[in-house]
Amino acid sequence: MISSFLNVFKIPDLKKKIFFTLGIIFAYRVGCYIPTPGVNGSMLAEFFEKMKSATDGSILDIMSMFSGGALEKLTVFSLGIMPYISSSIIMQLLTAVIPALEKLQKEGQAGVQKINQYTRYATLALAALQSFFISLWLESPQSFQGLQIVNHPGWGFRITTVFTLCAGTMLLMWLGEQIQERGIGNGISLIIAASILSRAPSAVRTLRLLLTGSGGKAQLQPLTLIIMVGFLFGVIICIILVTQAQRKIPVQYARRIVGRKIMGGASTYLPLKVDTAGVIAIIFAQSIILFPATIASFIPNQTVQSMASYMQRGSFVYYMIYSLLIVFFCYFYTAIVFNPIEYADNMKKHGGFIPGVRPGNQTADYLDFVMTRITLAGAVFICVIAVMPDAIMASFKVPYVVASFFGGTGILIVVGVMLDTMKQIESHLLMRHYDGFMRSGQMKGRR
């Protein structure tokens, strides 16, 4: 494997793509330290330092994870890439129900570019709405335990904050598109993964404090830490196995006589992925469930706050809605990328059939039946991974910043993104007659 990594730098085009991607990620991390004007950074840091000691995994912890800690400093990238993710969800939902958008999508590259433009407009609108409520939240001392975060509150600060945070989100979206076009890997997913990994030093520091303790009394025993590390490796192995798991449907092609040649007669299989949606479903569900709670947390009203408490992490309503959203988006994304009728028609045109199943409608029904069952198994696994940090916090008494690295959304996103990126790199190596990362077989990405 080491020789395969060294071969990466022997390919000029691939080396250029990798360095370009690393440069974009570096620029993103630099932007996470450029503060928004008018905010008292020391007071805001003091507030978030108090919040880190909590073990309930509040909504601010989750938002800070997806923004790479930019929210804790209220920098230009405080909103992260989540407005773009939310607008992408909205556009995909609208495409499935609005005939005009569905027609646009079928027009090829021109239609896709038009839908992408609509997605950018929706991203700007969502970013403006969220940044405005953030400015109101910052101006309220009640939200920060009496701390004065904004030096000069008023419409001047609000307008400045809206323009700054919207510009940061649009710049992040553009950086992700640049990685997609000129770099390696999925740009948006890489930015999210970089945001999650940037919190690793903070998690390690928190673990060290838990091991040393205060007054010579450790809050976390070394044996417990060893168990947690072993649990982490187990979770990573399970994620890789489920991500790459396939249900192989046997397909037989009938023999045909074309001129003097006999064509077909081969046996192959149709691979159906158990976890087709993967990280997409959990990101979509996370952004949807965070949006109303985020808006409510930024409104300094007692009635709104009490209503928002039902959607806070730790409540039964939160877990129920979160799980249902994950299952829904698993099936929704699978329905978008996998059309059983189209697969059945293509097999019929080329003389293919599934043994024991008639070609045509019965084949489509059979593929839909199998895909529905295996998607449920994948969705249940994603739900278990999503609620795992809460179980870790309850079992090992560690803060959310630590628990999120031993299970949950963060580890699922990072593992999935790394698999996809390494798969793309391996494809470049094999195309130029170099060995892949594995001695036997090839790596499988999520798609």
- 161 versus 54: the higher-pLDDT residue is 161
Question: Quick one: how many helices (H) and strands (E) in the chain?
Answer: 20, 5
**Band of pLDDT at residue 55, cut at 50, 70 and 90:** very low
pLDDT score for 264:
59
Q: At a CB cut-off of 8 Å and minimum separation 6, what does 405 contact?
A: 199, 200, 203, 232, 411
Distance CA 247, CA 256 (A): 28
Distance CA 275, CA 238 (A): 12
Distance CA 237, CA 119 (A): 35
**Least reliable range by pLDDT among 31-35, 229-233, 295-299, 397-401:** 295-299
Query: DSSP class of residue 77?
Result: T
Structure tokens at 158: 């609000």
Alpha-helical regions (H) of 198-273: 200-212, 222-244
Once rounded to an integer, what is the mean pLDDT over residues 371-394? 85
Distance CA 405, CA 399 (A): 11
pLDDT score for 171:
92
Once rounded to an integer, what is the mean pLDDT over residues 47-57? 59
- 418 versus 314: the higher-pLDDT residue is 418
Q: Domain ranges in the chain?
A: 2-431
**Band of pLDDT at residue 23, cut at 50, 70 and 90:** very high
Fold (CATH) for 2-431: Preprotein translocase SecY subunit (1.10.3370)
Q: What is the DSSP string of 145-156?
A: TT---BSS-SHH
**Full-model pTM:** 0.78
Is the Cβ–Cβ distance between 122 and 87 less than 8 Å? yes
- 447 versus 322: the higher-pLDDT residue is 322
Burial class (CB in 10 A: 0-12, 13-18, 19+), 348: middle
Indicate whether 444 pLDDT > 60: no
Indicate whether 297 pLDDT > 70: no
